Structures are given as C-alpha cells and as structure tokens.
Amino acid sequence: MAGHSKWANIKHRKGAQDKKRAKQFTRVIKEISVAVKDGGGPDPESNPGLRNAISNAKGVNMPKDTIERAIKKASGADADNYELVTFEGYGPNGIAFFIECTTDNTNRTVASVRSTLSKNGGNLGTNGSLEFLFDKKGVFTIEREKIEMDLEEFELELIEGGASKIEKEKDFIIIYTEFTDFGLMSSKLEDLEIEVKSSEVQRIPLNTVELPVEDAKKILNLVDKFEDDDDVQNVYHNMEITDELVAEMEHED
C-alpha cells in the first residue's frame, strides 16, 4: 500500500477532479443511479448505498438540485439501465490493472477498454485472472479542516469504527477499513457528524512494482486515458508510487 494513497488517490485524483469536473459529475450520477435501482430506492435514510453516493457527490461539489434531479431520474420509468462490469489486464512493464466500469452498453465498453490497453503496450486478461493481486478495502478521505475534535480522540473513535490503518497527509486524513467494516465506519462518521470528502471501496494492491520514473509516467498516462472514458468509474494498478515519481509529477504541474 506504500505510497498508494499518498499521491495516486489524493494528489493525482484531486488534480483530475479539478480538470475534469464534468467527468466527476458523470461518475457520481451513475453511482447514484445504481444505488437507487439496486440498493433499495430513492430514500437515503433506508438506502446506505445512496447515502454514500450523495456524500461522494457533495465531495466533488455537486449542487444540491443536481443531486436531487439524479435521484428523481433514477427512480423514474425512463431511468438509464446501467450495469457494473470489471476488467483485468496488464499494462506496459507487467503492471496489473483492475478497471471498474458502469455502462449501458457492455460491448462498447469491452471494445474501448481492450483498445486502450492494446494501443498502450498492454493486453486484456480474463476476469478473475488478476483479482488475487488486490485486496478490497474501505477507504475514507476526510479534509483535516473538517475535523473539529481532538485528533487523538478522533483516532480512537476511528479505531472503534473499524479503522485498520490511518494515514495523515498535509490536508487529508485517509482511513482504511476491511471491506466488511465499510458500513460500520460509514455509520461511525455519520454519528460523529464528520463530513467525508469521499468514501468508497477500493482495490488496494497487495504488492507493488517499482518502475523507473519515465516508465512510471507512461503508466500514469494510461491511467489518465482510462479515466477519460465515460464508462470507467475506477482504475486500480499495482505500480509503486515513489517519492521520486511524486516529485517529478509535481514539478511538471
């Protein structure tokens, strides 16, 4: 997990949000739609998945009326029929990729993911071939400025809520839980009235591969290409995010 959240899940994804707000809105609207259709209806009080989706929508500064319209549309007869699909494959230098998509046309999405991989020195694998390389974890990101209680007291509350790891960045606190404790932590943060920047189940690599900076930048470029695809919700890989790579990318910014 070393370096995984430090930059790939905070710095890089934050930059992507700033540049691609429309993409972020599309991603969250799809999350809301799936939560309403598959998770128990339009009432967030009785639908934990929808509560989580609304929290993520607020985290990317989606206006309240846009959230309400998305919920209303997902509840109607003309709601988009989205399906959750996943893909596994290898990028350049043997880096493993796990790609989660939400799509209304699986054939289109398969073709797009396969094309992106093959054009960038990779190849699509069979489902289940790489899943063992990743561990599903709950990941909660909180802006430090949103925490009003004493930090040590807050950490004790998080441990009680199932936190298995807590990382402190300059502007963020990142909390990891076991997949089975995701709901427990969500409830704990609600009880503490802590506003969450994002909360999601992520696939964390069990082991990472370190590449020379120039090769690593090609992998990040491939990640960007996947994230530009409207069908793609999340992209995971097992490349090590080194301090050297972080410094290089920050310099380029």
CA quadruple 184, 187, 189, 195: dihedral sign = positive
**Per-residue model confidence (pLDDT) at position 253:** 58
Residues of the chain with pLDDT > 70, as a percent, come to 91
- Written out in words, the top-level CATH class of the domain with range 133-205 is alpha beta
Domains in the chain: boundaries: 4-75, 83-131+207-241, 133-205
> The domain 4-75 is classified under which CATH number: 3.30.70.20, 1.20.1440.230, 1.10.10.200, 3.40.50.20?
1.10.10.200
Q: How confident is the model at residue 169 (pLDDT cuts 50, 70, 90)?
A: confident
Q: How confident is the model at residue 11 (pLDDT cuts 50, 70, 90)?
A: very low
Please indicate whether the domains covering 83-131+207-241 and 133-205 agree at the CATH topology level.
Answer: yes
Instruction: Count Cβ neighbours within 10 Å for each residue of 137-169 and write b for 16 or more, e otherwise.
Output: bbbbbbeeeeeeeeeeebeeebeebbbeeebee
CA distance 2 to 4: 5
53-81 pLDDT, tens digit per residue, is 999 899 888 999 999 999 999 988 778 88
14-50 pLDDT, tens digit per residue, is 555 455 677 888 889 999 999 998 877 899 989 988 9
**Per-residue model confidence (pLDDT) at position 90:** 96
CA 168 to chain centre: 18
Question: Is it the case that residue 10 has pLDDT exceeding 50?
Answer: no
**Per-residue model confidence (pLDDT) at position 79:** 82
**Per-residue model confidence (pLDDT) at position 64:** 94
Determine which helix (DSSP H) or strand (DSSP E) holds 47, and give its type and residue range. Answer: none
The full DSSP string for 138-174 is EEEEEEGGG--S-HHHHHHHHHHTTEEEEEE-SSEEE
**Per-residue model confidence (pLDDT) at position 21:** 74
* Residue whose C-alpha is closest to residue 115's, from 16, 204, 228, 215: 228
198-214 pLDDT, tens digit per residue, is 898 999 999 999 999 99
Query: Mean pLDDT across the chain, nearest whole number?
Result: 88
* Burial of 78: CB neighbours in 10 Å, binned 0-12, 13-18, 19+: exposed
- Written out in words, the top-level CATH class of the domain with range 83-131+207-241 is alpha beta
* Burial of 10: CB neighbours in 10 Å, binned 0-12, 13-18, 19+: buried
Beta-carbon count within 10 A of 20 CB: 15
**Per-residue model confidence (pLDDT) at position 2:** 40
